[in-house]
Amino acid sequence: MAEPTDSLSNGCILDTMTTSLNAKDYMALNKLLNKANLQFCNATSLQGNVTEFLKAAKRIFSQDPEELDHDIAVEVVERVMDLTPFDQALEVFTVEEIGHAVTSHVITLVRLACKVLSRSQPKGLFAGTGLIDLILEQLFDASTELEIVNEIEKCLKQLTSDALIRRRILKDNLQLLMRVRSQFDPICASRFLALMNCILPHIDLSEFQDGLFIFDETEIHKALDKDIILFINLTDYYSSYLRTLGATGEQQKSSSWLLGRMLGVVIPAYGKLYKQIHEYYMIETFARRYLFRLFREISMLKDDRYFEKLDSEYLNLTPSNPDFSEFIKSIKPSYLMRVQHDCILRNLTVTPSNLMVWRNLISEESSFNQVKDILTSDAILSLPYYEQMVLLQKLTCYEHSARYLLNDLSKVMSNTLDDKSGSITEPETSELRREVLENLLMFDSEMLNVWSQPTREAYRLIVNGERVQDSTAHVADTYL
């Protein structure tokens, strides 16, 4: 079968793929799939007989032929479904067929079924069927292949914002959930935590159950005794929820009661583990950074009282703590400057070893304003070039620090815009410099002021290799 020419419409490609699917001509089909994958990625609509294509694809996927390039086939089918009204896609896939696909253990069929479910309009459309039950049974079967688990988890993440779906999970499948939770099998319990993490941001008081969502101190120790990965996943479960609250500014009143319940367990349980960390080899060796991440998320909450309790009773965030240098790299900057202002200013220097501290302090305007006088052009330019870019990448992320760079660090700006005659070849350094310029270009021309055009030209040189002017790095002379 001849491969379609570039001039053929996506409808022609679609119909030709349907013919190849029906003929089981996999050599021709794989070529068509590659072409379709390129052509459909920018398409906003599809011509051709979509229904017949989806039917043919469904039939072939169920046969799981070795000759088919399954990965690209699924990508193309998913793209076709994205461009197809949900009602039309639903004509091809019955509830019974979706159920068979979910339990088939054929990854392409599972991906297809999960795609249909994820696109449900409304999201709770299938809540009254047994499909959610089947998905959960597959999820909590320890023998289910990881690829399939990943597809199921992505699907549930899309659906759990719907109250009907949550009711199906939390009420109709409560017995299954409680069994998984009580057995505490490392594999299934980790999947359980991932599911609860999807649900937590959306629940209200009527849906909440301590026995499902809160793991007490005894269970935290049980996880540690069973498997360090399970302990890490449990710790990350709490961190993820707290990070979600921090990102939303805790503006939902419904989250405050849950936060209090959760931290009533988390602060003493993990605080004690930290104080006695030398007694727990597995935590000290493999999970220490996850404790630090959890503590950071507590510090980032709007209400400082939670972290104040953690600090005063367990952490002792002072220079006498051997971990003090680690904490100041991640704990909320405004809290650090409030409790250890003099110590930080006394010891803060612009050196490679302090880069992570600087990146942390830059992230809040109030803390940045207290330390920015230390951040001089000469100090920054004394750093190795890669470390300069690491610092500038963060400095250009925020308006308050970007303004300081543009208005007060002209030598640093000139040095950054200078491409060193193409000698910046180390990939990671080049990528960081590119990111610095992209960050700057997110600000308007008025803020960039005299640096606007030189920054655009420096970025154009990175992207296209086209030098417009040779003197763009010397704008500082005009600016000053």
Give the whole-angstrom CA distance, residue 2 versus residue 233: 51
Amino acid 467: pLDDT: 57
Residues 6+ apart with CB under 8 A from 408: none
Q: What's the rounded mean pLDDT across residues 454-476?
A: 72
User: What is the torsional sign of CA 466, 471, 474, 480?
Assistant: negative
Helix axes 228-248, 217-226, angle to 10 degrees: 130
Residues 6+ apart with CB under 8 A from 310: 267, 271, 295, 298
Q: What's the rounded mean pLDDT across residues 9-27?
A: 91
pLDDT at 351 over 80: yes
Sequence letter at residue 167: R
Q: Look-up: residue for tokens 């002017």?
A: 469
Amino acid 480: pLDDT: 45
pLDDT at 67 over 90: yes
Amino acid 473: pLDDT: 46
**Torsion, Cα of 184, 185, 188, 190 (10° steps):** 70
What single DSSP character describes residue 287? I
Q: What digits encode the pLDDT tens for the residues 328-346? A: 999 999 999 999 999 999 9
With 0-12 / 13-18 / 19 or more C-beta atoms within 10 angstroms meaning exposed / middle / buried, residue 87 is exposed
Amino acid 465: pLDDT: 76
Q: Look-up: residue for tokens 């990111």?
A: 435
Amino acid 251: pLDDT: 45
pLDDT at 41 over 90: no
Q: Which domains does the chain have, with CATH numbers?
A: 380-480 (1.25.40.580)
Q: According to DSSP H, which parts of 24-85 are helical?
A: 26-40, 50-63, 70-82
Q: What's the rounded mean pLDDT across residues 144-164?
A: 97
Asked if 444 contacts 466 with a C-beta cutoff of 8 angstroms, the reply is no
Give the whole-angstrom CA distance, residue 64 versus residue 70: 8
With 0-12 / 13-18 / 19 or more C-beta atoms within 10 angstroms meaning exposed / middle / buried, residue 7 is exposed
Give the whole-angstrom CA distance, residue 67 versus residue 30: 9
Q: Which residue has the higher pLDDT, 250 or 194?
A: 194
Amino acid 298: pLDDT: 97
Amino acid 425: pLDDT: 83
pTM: 0.87
Q: What digits encode the pLDDT tens for the residues 409-442? A: 999 999 999 987 777 889 999 999 999 999 999 9
Reading the block at residue 243, the tokens are 């990070």
pLDDT at 261 over 60: yes
pLDDT at 28 over 70: yes
Give the whole-angstrom CA distance, residue 317 versus residue 120: 49
Mean pLDDT of the chain: 91
Sequence letter at residue 184: F
pLDDT at 476 over 70: no
**Beta-sheet strands, E only, within 318-449:** none
Q: What digits encode the pLDDT tens for the residues 200-245? A: 989 888 899 989 999 999 999 999 999 999 999 999 999 999 998 7
Give the whole-angstrom CA distance, residue 382 versus residue 384: 7
